[in-house]
Each structure stands twice: as structure tokens, then as C-alpha cells.
């Protein structure tokens, strides 16, 4: 297998286990004959890949300009209030992880957020509460 | 035969096909400053200090990894080139710390040497959050102070290509970019012995020989 298989392998691992552990990175390095550091480098380059365990659902808030102008800070504050965690943290029961990310391509619906693969737009604090309650 | 003819700073220069602009210039005795490039390492083109102007090209090109082609007209010291080069060094300096920031050690830091040579003035760019990392002192062979690192990747290439040890990799992204060992652990690897090649190739004082204690 070639080095250009690496990103696909990492994505598969992330999809299967929710994150990419050091053990998984070591296995991939072994298979592709790469230094572990190179696998770690690719994994940490992408904000949708994670080296630490994540909650069952990952909330990603856009921190780019269009959402900022549409009061994106309100969205982050509402989530922090609702879940009691700051960006980069996971709720104690492992239900949600909360991350800030760059543009998610939903500027027409700003402020927007992603929960797992689903986009939620035109957010208000009330809407956020409802959306979060719909997840187990 | 097979020589490629170019004009560098008004001077007719020829070199074998596949040679870079930097190599052709050096052969002709024209000096282009470099930072991330070393003749015995694969060109990386990451620092942009060696940029030159090529007539007809939409933007400046890095001379260390741009091959010459027939009829190229190249300027290595045009006002546009000098301005860009100066800005590149200023941006690198903005994220750089080390003993060289105060004068006494300046001669040991290639970045400061370049800044002096290019007559870079007082700092224009302020970095809000400096990159700061604990100094790594675990290894008896190499001490790493990544707060001083300017990410030229010379250590990464020297370790891979000359020492053939592949100890270093690049990780993270943007301001958080860092030269790492494995999954970003302090350097203390079996593979890393006292070859010291990375120390020789580091342009700053990010990599040093640990002081005997």
C-alpha cells in the first residue's frame, strides 16, 4: 500500500471508532512503512479528525466571518449554557463534544452549526435547545 | 549539450536541464539568499526567502525549487523581489523568539543574519499569542526548544535524508504547526543517537547540544 492511502485509512478509523487512537496510528504507520509522526501529522492537520475520544455526537460551531456577523457568538454561548461545556470539551456522560470549526459552507443559513453530519441553520437559542434535546 | 539558456539580472547564464534557478544563479556567481534550502537537501520551498521575479510569471517563484527553462528572464534583486523577501523575513521574525532576539547571540541565528543583510527595520507585525512550548531536555543528544523554531523543516529533511532516521514529522496546522516526534512527545527516541545532524542543520537555536551536567 502507498502513502496516499493514509488519509482514507485515517477517515475509516475515525468513522468506525469516533477518533484515531495512538494504537491505530501505530498500526497504520506499520502497514504503510511511515514514521508514526507522519500519521499523527496528517490526523492533526484536519479539524474533522480527532486524536482524542469524542462524545457520541459532535457539535461543530462555525467561527468564520458570516456566522460571526450573524451573532455566531450567541450560538456558542447557548450551547455552553445548555451543556455546561466549553469548546474543545466533552460532556461528562459522553453525549456531546463541542468544537469550534472554520466555515461549514452554510453561510446562507448563518449562524449555523453541524451536529455530526447534519447542518442546522438560522439558529436561535430556543432552536438550539430543541435540536440538542432530539439527540440521545 | 542540452543546456538551457536564461538571463539572470541581465547576465546570460546557461545550465543543464533540470537545474533550478538558484543553482544556475550560484554557478554564475549571483547570490540569492536562502533559509529553508540547503544544497544537500531536497528543496522544500516553504520559507519563500529565495523568491525571484520571472518575466511573464504571474507571481514570484521560489528559486530553490523552480527549474530553469529556455529563455527565462529572471530578476533576483528587483524592488518587488526585495520587498517580498524583506516581508517574508519580517513575518518569520514575528513568530520567532530566542536569545538572538537580544543582540548578543545574533551571529548564531541565520534568521537574524538574514534580517540584518536585508536591512529589515523594526518589527511591523505583532503576534498576539506567541508559540511557546516547554524546552525538551529528555534526550542526552538533542535539546529542543520549539518556541524558537521557525518551521523551516531542515531538521525533518536532514534526519530523513542524511541520517535516515525519520525522527521528526510535521503536525498540526497554521499557527499551531509544529515539528513533532511520534504523537507529539518530547524527543527521547531509540533511533536518535548522537549524530547531531539536525543540530547542524537548524538555522536557529531551536535545536542545540544539551549542556553537560
User: Is the domain of A78 the same as that of A115?
Assistant: yes
List, run by run, the mean pLDDT of 10-residue segments along chain B (213 residues).
88 95 96 96 97 97 97 97 95 79 66 90 82 93 94 97 97 94 95 93 93 70
What separation in angstroms does the CA of B177 have from each of A55, A134, B94? 26, 37, 15
Residues A80 and A101 occupy one common structural domain: yes
Q: Listing from the earlier edge strand, what are the strands of the sheet with B11-16?
A: B11-16, B3-8, B73-75, B51-54, B61-62
Q: Is residue B156 one of the residues assigned to a domain? A: yes
B128 occurs within a structural domain: no
Q: pTM for this structure? A: 0.88
ipTM: 0.89
B171 touches A at CB < 8 Å? yes
Number of domains present in the structure of chain A: 2
- Residue B211: predicted pLDDT: 82
Residue B168, domain member (yes or no): yes
The residue with cell 445548555 is A82
Residue A129, domain member (yes or no): yes
Cell of A42: 496528517
Would you call B201 an interface residue with chain A, using a CB distance cutoff of 8 Å? no
CB-nearest to A22 from B168, B170, B183 is B183
Residue range of the domain that includes A72: 57-133
Out of B167, B172, B182, name the one closest to residue A44 (CB). Answer: B172
Going by C-alpha positions, the residue among B19, B10, B182, B32 that lies closest to residue A40 is: B182
C-beta atoms surrounding A87 within 10 Å: 16
For position B102, what pLDDT does the model report?
62
pLDDT attached to residue B61: 98
Q: What is the pLDDT of residue B1?
A: 47
Res A131: pLDDT: 94
Judged by CB atoms closer than 8 Å, whether chains meet at A37 and B173 is answered as no
Q: What percent of chain A has pLDDT over 70?
A: 100
Decide if B136 is inside a domain: no
Amino acid at each position: 500500500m502507498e502513502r496516499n492511502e493514509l488519509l482514507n485509512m485515517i477517515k475509516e478509523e475515525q468513522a468506525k471508532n469516533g477518533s484515531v487512537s495512538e494504537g491505530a496510528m501505530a498500526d497504520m504507520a506499520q502497514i504503510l512503512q511511515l514514521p508514526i509522526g507522519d500519521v499523527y501529522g496528517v490526523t492533526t492537520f484536519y479539524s474533522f479528525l480527532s486524536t482524542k475520544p469524542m462524545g457520541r455526537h459532535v457539535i461543530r460551531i462555525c467561527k468564520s466571518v458570516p456566522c460571526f456577523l450573524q451573532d455566531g457568538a450567541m450560538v456558542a454561548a447557548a450551547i455552553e449554557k445548555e451543556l455546561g461545556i466549553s469548546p474543545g470539551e466533552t460532556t461528562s456522560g459522553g453525549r456531546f463534544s463541542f468544537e469550534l470549526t472554520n466555515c461549514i459552507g452554510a453561510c446562507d443559513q448563518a449562524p449555523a452549526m453541524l451536529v455530526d453530519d447534519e447542518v442546522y441553520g438560522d439558529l436561535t437559542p430556543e432552536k438550539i435547545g430543541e435540536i440538542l434535546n432530539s439527540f440521545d | 549539450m542540452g543546456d538551457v539558456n536564461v538571463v539572470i539580472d541581465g547576465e546570460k547564464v546557461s545550465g543543464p536541464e533540470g537545474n533550478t534557478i538558484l543553482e544556475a544563479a550560484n554557478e554564475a556567481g549571483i547570490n540569492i539568499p536562502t533559509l529553508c534550502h540547503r544544497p544537500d537537501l531536497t528543496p522544500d520551498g516553504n520559507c519563500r526567502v529565495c523568491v525571484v521575479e520571472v518575466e511573464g510569471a504571474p507571481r514570484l517563484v521560489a528559486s530553490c525549487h523552480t527549474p530553469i527553462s529556455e529563455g527565462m528572464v529572471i530578476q533576483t534583486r528587483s524592488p518587488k523581489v526585495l520587498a517580498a523577501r524583506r516581508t517574508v523575513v519580517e513575518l518569520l521574525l514575528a513568530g520567532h523568539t530566542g536569545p538572538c532576539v537580544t543582540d548578543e547571540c545574533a551571529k548564531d541565528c541565520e534568521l537574524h543574519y538574514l534580517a540584518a543583510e536585508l536591512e529589515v527595520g523594526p518589527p511591523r507585525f505583532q503576534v498576539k499569542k506567541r508559540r511557546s512550548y516547554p524546552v525538551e531536555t529528555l534526550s542526552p543528544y538533542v535539546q529542543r526548544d520549539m518556541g524558537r523554531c521557525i518551521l523551516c523543516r531542515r531538521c525533518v529533511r536532514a534526519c530523513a535524508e542524511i541520517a535516515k532516521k525519520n525522527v521528526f514529522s510535521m503536525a498540526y496546522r497554521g499557527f499551531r504547526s509544529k515539528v513533532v516526534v511520534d504523537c507529539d512527545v518530547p524527543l527521547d527516541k531509540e533511533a536518535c543517537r548522537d549524530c547531531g545532524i539536525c543540530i547542524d542543520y537548524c538555522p536557529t537555536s531551536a535545536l542545540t547540544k544539551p549542556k553537560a551536567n
